[in-house]
Amino acid sequence: MIKKFIDKLLGKTAAASRGKAPRFGKREEIGPDVHGIDPALVDERALNVVHTLKQAGHEAYIVGGAVRDLLLGLKPKDFDVATKATPEQVKGLFRRAFIIGRRFRIVHVVYGRGREHEVIEVSTFRAYLDNAAAEQVAGNEKTSKSELAGMKHAVDSSGRVLRDNVWGPQDEDATRRDFTINAMYYDPETQIVVDYHGGIKDAKKKTLRMIGDPVARYREDPVRIIRAVRFAAKLSPLGFKLEAKTAAPLVESQALLADVPQSRLFDEMLKLLQTGHALATIEQLKKLGLARGIYPLLDVVVERAEQTFVKAALQDTDRRVGEGKPVAPSFLLACVLWADVRDGWAARLKQRQHSFPALQDAIDDVFNARIGDVSGRGKLAADMREIWMMQPRFEKRTGSTPFSLVDQPRFRAGFDFMRLRADAGEVDEALADWWQEFSTASDAGREDLVQQAKAGQPRAPARAAREPREPREPRVHRVPADPAAGPAPEAGEPPATEGDAPARKRRRRRRKPGGGEGAGAGSEPA
């Protein structure tokens, strides 16, 4: 009895020391009459994942940005599910499910195939871990070996979360999320929204607020600095603003990004530029004092965003995302760095280098100076290089070049790039129009376009007029003397041969055996 009392007392003390009551919030369940979510906006496949997990006896909810968008009356582009089931349990319930990640293990449940496939991302409820919490959980006798393994080196000395694979209750899972409007759970079967941190109130007030102390939360994961910018840009058209306490530490916390792997920063940069709000993101970076220092390549984007060509590329990317069309990071980055490639290419041409090798060398220099290790990312670098290398080929519209170029797998990207150059006044608009027509024409139509281009090309300049030269004396053909044939011809007089065929052609003929018809010039008369 005494032992149970001490254990209970110690348990309460530990919970109090972790600040459980105020930190993890109070569970509120909000019905459809308050939140007003339209069930028709929920994806059927996300609904199926939730239903399958619940049928197997696990809690499961739609979570994160999808709930936020549903509250705002928007149809989410992606649906995430959070559950009490472990990744292994989730994987066992679906025919096509794959566990991915090391720092943050999740399950991708895949529906469909090819380009039409859809992925529902399923994560397990995580425990909220700081240094103190990690030590206490590790010291608990009930902590399993798998939890201990996932907790090893989970948090570094500065408070940055290194691993996040310790499972926990839903209230702690809500707390470890960043913003209040991203920490709500929606059950599409009961239509109940579970809210621990006033997310619905913040959504109605259009406030972006960090859960807990913003300084500590940025230290736990510095990438939250970039996420704050992204959400502010995405939701600013709807009237959302960053809470003052959430925005205040951003600049001073920026130095924490130096400890984040470059590959992760690169991926976060692409999210900033490819979520349909690239121009708004750049404005937010400037407004928040983060225009420089997040990532070197992002600094270049912000610096060149007002250039006609780069601005057109950013606008085109936003338009395509808004229309639900795919966008490729290689195309946008090729646009951003084109000025470096073009200038390096022009400098080499002035040194009388050949055009294509000069362009290749200029591209290599840009990869080394601007992209660094990203150039080793295979497809990204290859696609950028191919887009750039196509540009001089568009200038040639005769021969076989147009036919081979239009069959290239990356032709459309290269053409769209050239079209943007034309819109920016860098190349002739007529050239872009010609290629637009050529790419959609029939075989006969393409032949006609090539002939028109050939006829319309300026001829090479005529050589300067020269003084007329004296005609050359004809080559002397000496025929062996033959007493029966009379005297040999005088110098300059052509030989007396039958047919008077030109000597050049006669020399090409092969001598037939017997010296009959077809014998070459200079042969003896028959």
Our answer to whether residue 130 is catalytic in this structure is no
- Tokens encoding 287: 């407004």
pLDDT in tens, the chain (526 residues): 443 433 443 343 334 334 343 367 899 999 999 999 999 999 999 999 999 999 999 999 999 999 999 999 999 989 999 999 999 999 999 999 999 987 789 999 999 887 778 999 999 999 886 544 444 444 445 544 444 444 444 555 544 545 556 899 999 999 999 999 999 999 999 999 999 999 999 999 999 999 999 999 999 899 999 999 999 999 999 999 999 999 999 999 999 999 998 888 999 999 999 989 999 999 999 999 999 999 999 999 999 999 999 999 999 999 999 998 889 999 999 999 999 999 999 999 999 999 999 999 999 999 988 886 654 457 888 999 999 999 999 999 999 999 999 999 999 999 999 999 999 999 999 999 999 999 999 999 999 999 998 887 654 444 444 444 444 444 444 444 444 444 444 444 444 444 444 444 444 444 444 444 333 433 333 3
Report pLDDT for 478: 42
For the chain, where do the domains classified as CATH 3.30.460.10 start and end? Answer: 19-126+167-205
Our answer to whether residue 178 is catalytic in this structure is yes
Q: Cβ distance 149 to 108 under 8 Å?
A: no
Report pLDDT for 457: 64
Report pLDDT for 23: 65
- Structure pTM? 0.73
Report pLDDT for 235: 93
Report pLDDT for 374: 57
* The CATH number of domain 210-319 is 1.10.2020.10: no
For 257-266, which contacts have Cβ atoms below 8 Å and span 24 or more sequence positions?
257/222, 257/223, 257/225, 257/226, 257/293, 257/294, 257/295, 259/158, 259/160, 259/222, 260/222, 260/223, 262/295, 262/372, 262/373, 262/374, 264/223, 265/223, 265/226, 265/294, 265/295, 266/295, 266/297, 266/374
Q: Which of 43, 80, 318, 383 is catalytic?
A: 80
For the chain, where do the domains classified as CATH 1.10.3090.10 start and end? Answer: 210-319, 329-454
Report pLDDT for 135: 44
The CATH class for the domain spanning 19-126+167-205 reads alpha beta
The CATH class for the domain spanning 329-454 reads mainly alpha
Say how far apart CA 509 and CA 449 lie, in whole Å.
Answer: 43
Q: Which of 43, 69, 173, 178 is catalytic?
A: 178
Our answer to whether residue 443 is catalytic in this structure is no
